[in-house]
Amino acid sequence: MGARRRTGHKPTPPRQEPRRRRSPGLAEDAVLGILLASAEPLRLEAIVEDLGLASSQRKILRPLLESMCRQGRVVCQAGNLYAAGKVSDIFEATLAVHPRGFGFAAVIGTPPPEAGGKDIFIPPGSLGNALHGDRVLVRMTGHDRGRAEGIVLRVLSRKLSRLVGLFVAARKGGMVVPEDERYPFHVVVAAAETQGAAGGEVVVAEIITFVEGGNPEGRIVEVLGDPNDLKVQTEIVIRKFELSHLFDEAVAAQVASLDGTVTATADRLDLRDIPHVTIDGEDARDFDDAVAIVRNGAGYRLYVSIADVSHYVTPGSPVDEEAYQRGTSVYFPTMVVPMLPERLSNDLCSLVPHQDRYTFSAIMEFDESGRRIGASFGRSVIQSRHRLTYTKVKAMLVDQDQSLRQEYQDVVADLAVMGELAARLGERRMARGSIGFEIPEAKILVGEDNTVSGIVRLERNMAHKLIEEFMLAANEAVAETIAQKALDGLYRIHEEPDPLKVAEFSEFAVSMGLELPPNGGSPHWFGQVLALVAGTPKEYIISNLLLRAMKQARYSAKNAGHFGLAARYYTHFTSPIRRYPDLMVHRTLAQFLGGKGKGSGRPGTATEEAGDFLSKRERVSVDAEREVVERLSVHYMADKVGEEFEAVVSGVSSYGLFVDLLTVFVTGAVSLADLGSDGYEVDEKQHRLFGRYSGLAIQMGDLVRVKLLAADRQRRRLNFGLVAVHKEPQR
């Protein structure tokens, strides 16, 4: 059965706060929860109603309130009004629930000193009807094993209103089993609310009624289809991560009204005679950057021309607001969720060959050594000569493919000069301390029959590096201008790593036999460590551990440099079709160059606030893309249960081992329970297991042979058994 999406024949009513059913009863916690959740004092009648009590029970509630007033926990006011008094053990928090029925409450604002800097543990039975992601009121009840414990008093707001799950049909209606195992319930669906879903199909359910201690009631609002269909798996992730994947009428109307005429006006550089080309992957879905080069006696002039999205997307317009909320395009093996509508991303802003296009150009001058000696910027018009691919450029420059060189004879000499400059730029960047990570990425191959035909390592050749160097150079030049002109711009920053994490890495690396250089923690030092393991089996593991020791790059209005690139200034300028921060940078630079001041790239929103929001949107995108890869990997491996594979140990935890297969680019786990009866002890600090009886130490980075025991599609897990460790026991 293929992917299908159906919506009901009747419109879904406006979203409203689901009804709550309560078991009658009185408790101080319940009363405090109600009063603390209210922005103003409440009358006795309102408290009675919220507790689900009959009006005749007012006389029971009043003495409790009066007692709490005497204790100072409630403030009694004239007119039967009550407000929360001073409480020091109740906090607002965001709840994270574990599938096993307990949770952790992250306090909003300043956490209590009693929590010791950790989230409050909520044991099983103390969650009430709170769900994963809810904003709740939590009361601390004590400590156990060094961690504060608490109980959920009240749900302040629900994160969950819709969920994705598998429909299980019954004689009358059925139920939806949540796809996310953190929701430990089933949604009961009446026969009239199934939208025709068949048993075993993936659906989206809207919750109508939360039932304390029981299964909620809901309705099916969308039928996605067969869970074995790859496109359905992608649709699941889109719904799970709440990715906006449709454009509303206002956005569609604005895009339809855009004028597609391109004119070389006086305020634009006419660069149509400069032989630009685009260089992308064979399966690239948008073409927002083109490059050109001129060799002269003094060195090189490099043109990096980027689609001028800001010409079409004005601040505050429907397209702009939608693009900001999305933050970034999200790329999946079977589809893309774009930041901009297709007419922009694949037409007006796509630098297709032989068509005039509006661009924003960075024109940089370099000397013979690749040192930048000048830069200018301006809105422009270009016409790309060719749509080249990395494979073709590599074939022309490295493999000397004569047929391709003949086909592209008008630009092949320029490509050779580009390769020359890119090599010099790379040498200078590495010399200053830029960290040369070579972390392999998985590429999912989808066959014509809509199945995964393979999972391979994404190959990078010199053409990838050529474009990478040119984009880095443009981003640095723009960032330096923003900083030197004191513009209200957005930087891409990467702060220095935590010294404790660097020290932990160093301790482990020494245990693996590496002789580390002194003065750890600088970009140069990271590069030296990578050089020690380059081309060895340890390279992959050391690279991953070094990445874990580093902080995440993010967007900020304050320049803090880029540690990984050893760059004093860095921003994102080169991909405005798929990244909103780049669009902001374009606007900031355009305003300055046009003599319109130093305003922000997003009027009405503080640049730092925008940076925080867009950093979060980027992380959502990365997590969503990673989950789809996990899902499709499990689908691909499902028919390989019982087969053996060579692997490298990529992680050690209290659960067991994590392994990356060498021939198939997937990751799985070997649980302690499947390691046999050797009584393995876990040393997480040294990233190893140690067999009590055999003396066998299994450490991160070891080569092993494993057997696939199970491919759990629902949990997205590949479970392996250990067949052999390729080294001698250590005693």
DSSP string, 401-415: -HHHHHHTTTTHHHH
Measured N-to-C along each axis, helices 249-256 and 318-326 cross at an angle, to the nearest 10 degrees, of 120
User: Nearest Cα to 36, choosing from 195, 180, 153, 131?
Assistant: 153
- The CA angle 120-124-129, to the nearest 5 degrees, is 90
At 10 the pLDDT is: 38
Per-residue pLDDT of 510-559, as tens digits, reads 877 888 988 788 898 998 898 888 888 778 788 888 888 899 999 999 99
Q: What mean pLDDT do residues 292-299 have?
A: 92
- Average pLDDT over the chain, rounded to an integer: 89
CA distances from 715 to 199, 341, 634, 674 (A): 20, 33, 9, 18
| Cα–Cα dist 56/235, whole Å | 51
- 668's tokens: 């799985």
- Higher-pLDDT residue of 4 and 230 is 230
- Kindly tell me the burial class for residue 642, based on how many C-beta atoms sit within 10 Å of its own C-beta (0-12, 13-18, 19 or more): exposed
At 694 the pLDDT is: 78
At 23 the pLDDT is: 35
- 472's tokens: 């880095």
Q: What mean pLDDT do residues 325-332 have?
A: 97
Could you give the residue ranges of the DSSP H alpha helices within 327-411?
342-343, 390-397, 402-407
pLDDT band (50, 70, 90) for residue 727:
low
User: Nearest Cα to 252, choosing from 319, 316, 317?
Assistant: 319
Helix, strand, or coil (residue 159): coil
pTM: 0.86
- The CA angle 564-565-568, to the nearest 5 degrees, is 110
Contact 622/628 with Cβ under 8 angstroms?
no
Span of 1-5, 369-373, 494-498, 528-532 with lowest mean pLDDT: 1-5
Flag whether pLDDT at 7 surpasses 70: no
| Cα–Cα dist 216/220, whole Å | 13
Contact 42/81 with Cβ under 8 angstroms?
yes
| Cα–Cα dist 461/334, whole Å | 24
At 537 the pLDDT is: 73
Q: What mean pLDDT do residues 498-520 have?
A: 86
Could you give the percent of the chain with pLDDT greater than 70?
Answer: 95
At 440 the pLDDT is: 76
| Cα–Cα dist 121/95, whole Å | 10
Residues linked to residue 644 through DSSP beta bridges, in sequence order: 707
Q: What mean pLDDT do residues 457-476 have?
A: 95
| Cα–Cα dist 443/380, whole Å | 35
- Higher-pLDDT residue of 58 and 428 is 428
Query: At 156, phi and psi to the nearest 5?
Result: -85, -40
At 291 the pLDDT is: 98
- Higher-pLDDT residue of 449 and 371 is 371
At 730 the pLDDT is: 44
Tell me the CA end-to-end span of the chain in Å, nearest whole number: 56
Flag whether pLDDT at 173 surpasses 80: yes
Q: What mean pLDDT do residues 586-607 have?
A: 92
Flag whether pLDDT at 402 surpasses 50: yes
Place of tokens 């580093």: 550
What radius of gyration do the chain's Cα atoms show?
30
Flag whether pLDDT at 25 surpasses 50: no
Q: What mean pLDDT do residues 103-117 have?
A: 83
Flag whether pLDDT at 658 surpasses 70: yes
Q: Which domains does the chain have, with CATH numbers?
A: 3-15+161-227 (2.40.50.700), 19-84 (1.10.10.10), 90-157 (2.40.50.140), 251-491+565-621 (no CATH), 641-725 (2.40.50.140)
pLDDT band (50, 70, 90) for residue 34:
confident
Query: At 176, phi and psi to the nearest 5?
Result: -110, 120
- Higher-pLDDT residue of 595 and 248 is 248
Task: Number of helices (H) and strands (E) in the chain: give both, helices first.
Answer: 17, 36
- The CA angle 587-588-589, to the nearest 5 degrees, is 90
User: Nearest Cα to 126, choosing from 143, 115, 138?
Assistant: 138
Span of 51-65, 353-367, 425-439 with lowest mean pLDDT: 51-65
CB atoms closer than 10 angstroms to residue 341: 20
CA distances from 709 to 20, 161, 587, 642, 704 (A): 44, 36, 54, 6, 15
539: Cα separation from own chain's centroid: 25
Place of tokens 């057997």: 707
User: Nearest Cα to 636, choosing from 667, 597, 672?
Assistant: 667
| Cα–Cα dist 360/378, whole Å | 6
Flag whether pLDDT at 26 surpasses 50: no
Flag whether pLDDT at 191 surpasses 80: yes
- Higher-pLDDT residue of 51 and 270 is 270
Helix, strand, or coil (residue 232): helix
At 211 the pLDDT is: 78
Span of 313-322, 361-370, 592-601 with lowest mean pLDDT: 592-601
